[in-house]
Structure 1
Amino acid sequence: MNKAPRQKRAEIQRLTSISNLRTKQLSGSVGKREHEEPDRIEHFDLELRPSKLHDLKVGEFISGGDSMVAGFLDAVAKVRQFRFHNDDDLYDRLSRRFSVILLMLFTVVVSTKQYVGDPIACFAPAQFTGSHVEYANYICWISNTYYVPFESTLPARHDERPKHIAYYQWIPFILLLMSVLFYIPSVLWHAFSTKTGFDIANLVKTLHSMEQLNPDIRDRTLRYIAKHIDRALEIQREMGTGFFSQFTRILRRHCPFFIIGRAQGNYLTFVYLFVKLLYITNVVGQLFLLNIFMGSNYHGYGIEVLKNLLSGRECCRSARFPRVTMCDFEIRTMADHIHKHTIQCVLPVNLFNEKIFIFIWFWLVIVSVLSSYGFLICIWQQILPFNREHFLKKYLKIMNRITRESFDRKLFHTFSNKYLKPDGVLVLRLVAINTNDVVMGEIMVALWDSFKRAQDADGGIFV
């Protein structure tokens, strides 16, 4: 009988205590907030103290010469934040994008092994202590080594021994310089293309962002881009109204080589072809520059590797990157006695260098072949008028602006050769490469309609 009232009283007391506790928490939350924040800061500070000590140790470790290396690696790590321009084709991107990224990655790998790890380890005499061994490793690394195959005899006279191999320490800087050389032509192309009024990179960037806009803003953006291209073409045509342009037009009738200029509408095309030639010259020239710098037959390195693979020998063992070398150095004592030492050293870093430069050789050959092919394709597409017309006709047919029944060949010829000209077709071709067919078709339609309106309004202005 008494169990039910007792249970009710216990339940009421429990609920009352919970209510009082919540009331105290709410009333004291404001007052305690000032105390909670310092406690939280103090708690985090206690948690961060070990990491601060750890950072201090790391700072001590990279002090001196290694701090420069850490700064270099930190700069290289920021390469991924770099933005490349999309104003060329795949053959150009093989050089200025993929080659640059590849060489920068190789630079990081080799630099880490050379300056953070142990690039060399020498087999010192038994009387050498720990500091002596460390000194021998350093002196052999900075004063260079030389290679003597095990099947050959080491000459007794120092002047008869092979010449020192001096490029190991410079490998990261060689790779860095190669990446810069690969990127220079794209800088020239971007500078010249923007100077003519055709900022292809920004056009492509705007077209890519257009997909995220609502239909009304998208249509206005598309019309603006078409108007921008139309205005740039108009500026080119106005350049052909001066006395000098008329004089060059007369010369062009008698001298077929005098055909390049903005007024003729082919200036950007020839700049683009010249930049493509620079890409080819760069990649072929780097093979021979590496050959000169390394003092060996590097341009035949990959062929040598293939021969070794076909004959069943070790493919990658080469005198260019020997793993075991010899080192001569002298030690002066307090009594002015000079002790000469010849020791054997192993270069673990050459295990990476060897594989990297084999890959670079094949990469340079592939890029040179594809870049040459891209150059020939560009000549075929841009220099010959019927190829330019075929490109334009394809998109106008897709967008139903021209049909077989209503096709005006003379009007279309004027649109291609008098309105757009080679430079306008090149800009549209590069936009098509870096966007998609739908966007390209819409731009083509806008330019075609603008051209026809101008023809109808001015009675055939493009003659």
Structure 2
Amino acid sequence: MVYDVLGSIRSLIKLDDYSIDNNVFRLHYKATVIFLVAFSLLVTSNQYFGDPIDCIQRDDVPPALLDTYCWIHSTFTLPDALDKKIGVEVPHPGIDKYTPGEKRVYHKYYQWVCFVLFLQAVMFYIPRYLWKMWEGRRLKSLVLHLDSPIMDKDDRDEQVNMVVDYFRTNIRYHNSYFYYYVFCEFLNFVNVILQMYLIDAFLGGAFSTYGFDVIQYTEMDQENRVDPMIAIFPRMTKCTFHRYGSSGDVQRHDALCILPLNIVNEKIYVFLWFWFVFLAIITGALLVYRLFVIFLDPVRKTMLKSRARLCNPYNLNIVLSVTKIGDWFLLYLLCKNMEGQNFREFIERYSEEIMKSSNGNDNEKEPIINKSGNETPEER
């Protein structure tokens, strides 16, 4: 059954032809979405095509009726019975004789787990959708067939010249392109934090420390520990069913209900706790790194030079001397997607165009690039 469920999400695993983002971004809209959709399908298969609840009682209430009633109206446990000795004081964790006024914890979430997981998958894909909309397939239009190492010389020359013409016409007009991308990265960070609060509210405030509680549980003595997974996702609960008796009086029927689906739910949310914490940490670190990129020009130059190793530093510095941050970002994406030799050809031709334009305009201030590849400002 598990393999059948996971096989239905293979269509989500597809390599993109062009890379318009980074690995951290892909962890949000690819890995996380695949996890959430897979978990949603797994829970759905057990919930609607299996037997998610079984209730037992000694009276003449039909079992199917009791199961349906308890599934719809939720079940409960007694938190004061979690610490009692199993098999001596209570039959199961959280199960004990109920006295009026005693605190009860109702478990209603299990009906909605599959829907909440799917909603979370949609929310994790929203930043990707926005970025694709704002990016507008610009990178794909510029790369053309220059991602291939084998091309006809005339075709390569023509396509390289088209990219050069585009940059010559649109240089310094790409800042919004870059800041849209940064906004989507920030949205990823906000979203993963929001998802953690959403699950915490969904599980009654138990998710925020869930991972820590599980770790502490594994380090405790066997006799003195209470499984936090059973406290949040109980396998055995109670259900109260009322009906009229033969004399017309209201009769109360107590039933014990087994929730085998919670064995799956508890593992899912343990994984999600650690995964979301990991995502939040690396996405937050990426945003700090992005601040360095925005405010420190040497960082941007170092990044592009380290990726464009085949390019002549002299030519690359000429191009970088006339670019703004948006132009740099587009050049960086082009370098990621173009074949190295083709990108080097583009940089060489574009630097020649810049030098020609600089020599033909005596009234414009342009940086002079020495042969070592470093900029030396000079006013004309």
Q: 1:93-114: per-residue Cα shift (whole Å, max 9, x none)? A: 1112211111111111111111
Choose from 235, 249, 262 the match for 1:350: 262
The structure-2 alpha-carbon separation of the partners of 1:139 and 1:219, relative to structure 1 and needing over 3 Å to count, comes to farther
Identity of matched residues, %: 25
Does residue 213 of structure 2 align to residue 304 of structure 1? yes
Q: Does residue 159 of structure 2 align to residue 221 of structure 1?
A: yes
SS in 1 for 2:251: strand
Task: Give CA-to-partner distance per residue, 1:108-143, whole Å, 9 cap, x none.
Answer: 111111111111111232534xxx101111111111
Assess, with a 3 A threshold, how the Cα gap between structure 1 residues 140 and 101 changes in structure 2: closer, same or farther.
same
Using the alignment, how far apart are the partners of 2:138 and 2:45 within structure 1? 39
Aligned ranges for residues 43-122 of structure 1 at < 5 Å?
79=12, 86-122=19-55
Return the alpha-carbon distance in structure 2 between the equivalents of residues 80 and 394 of structure 1: 30
Q: Which residue of 1 aligns with 2:175?
A: 266
**Residue of structure 2 equivalent to 1:287:** 196
Map Cα deviations across residues 137-167 of structure 1 (whole Å, 9 max, x no partner): 111111111123463633233x645142111
Distance 1:345 1:429, change over 3 A: same
* Residue aligning to 2:126: 184
| Aligned partner of residue 342 in structure 1, secondary structure | strand
Greater share of helix:
1
Residue identity in the other structure for 1:200 = L
Show the 5 A alignment for 1:369-388: 369-388=281-300
Flag the 1:438–1:125 CA change in 2: closer, same or farther, 3 A: farther
Contact 1:211 1:218 in 2 (8 A): no
Alignment-derived partner of residue 170 in structure 2: 232
Segments of structure 1 that go 5 or more residues without pairing to the other structure are 1-71, 237-264
Q: Contact 1:122 / 1:136 at 8 angstroms: preserved in 2? A: yes
1:139 to 1:93, Cα distance in 2 relative to 1, 3 A: same
1:447 matches 2:380: no
Following superposition, the deviation at residue 453 of structure 1 comes to 3.2
Kept after mapping to 2: 8 A contact 1:89/1:433: no
Tell me if structure 1 keeps the 8 A contact 2:200–2:206: yes
Deviation at 1:293?
A: 1.8
Contact 1:147–1:325 under 8 Å retained in 2:
yes
Q: Is 1:142 equivalent to 2:81 in the alignment?
A: no
How many Å separate the matches in 2 of 1:359 and 1:161?
30
Whether contact under 8 Å (1:280, 1:371) holds in the other structure is yes
Find the aligned partners of 1:351 and 1:214 in 2 and give their Cα distance.
59
**Are the equivalent residues in 2 in contact too, given 1:381–1:387 (CA < 8 A)?**
yes
SS at match of 1:146: strand
State whether residues 296 and 320 of structure 1, in contact with CA within 8 Å, keep that contact through their aligned partners in structure 2.
Answer: no
The answer to whether the 8 A contact 2:292-2:299 is kept is yes
TM-score by length of 1: 0.65
Structure 2 residue runs of 5 or longer lacking an equivalent are 85-93, 367-380
Tell me the amino acid that sits aligned with residue 121 of structure 1: D
Deviations 1:219-263 (A, max 9, x none): 4334334433443326x2xxxxxxxxxxxxxxxxxxxxxxxxxxx
Shift in Å, 1:170: 0.6
In the TM superposition, what is the alpha-carbon distance from 1:80 to its structure 2 partner?
Answer: 5.1
Contact 1:428 1:440 in 2 (8 A): no
Q: Given the alignment of the two structures, is residue 156 of structure 1 paired with residue 103 of structure 2, yes or no?
A: no
Q: Take 2:145 and 2:221, find their aligned partners in 1: how far apart are those partners?
A: 55
In the TM superposition, residue 372 of structure 1 has moved relative to its aligned partner by 1.2
CA distance in 1: counterparts of 2:143 and 2:32, whole angstroms: 22
Matched, 1:421 2:324: yes
Q: Using a 3 Å threshold, how does the CA distance of structure 1 residues 281 and 172 change in structure 2: closer, same or farther?
A: same
In structure 1, C-alpha distance between the alignment counterparts of 2:36 and 2:98, rounded to whole Å: 38
User: TM-score under structure 2 normalisation?
Assistant: 0.78
What displacement does 1:216 show?
Answer: 3.8
User: Given that residues 213 and 228 in structure 2 are in contact (C-alpha distance below 8 angstroms), is that contact kept between their aligned partners in structure 1?
Assistant: no
Cα 1:137–1:337 change in 2 (3 A) is: same
- Conserved in 2, the CA contact under 8 Å of 1:87 and 1:431? no
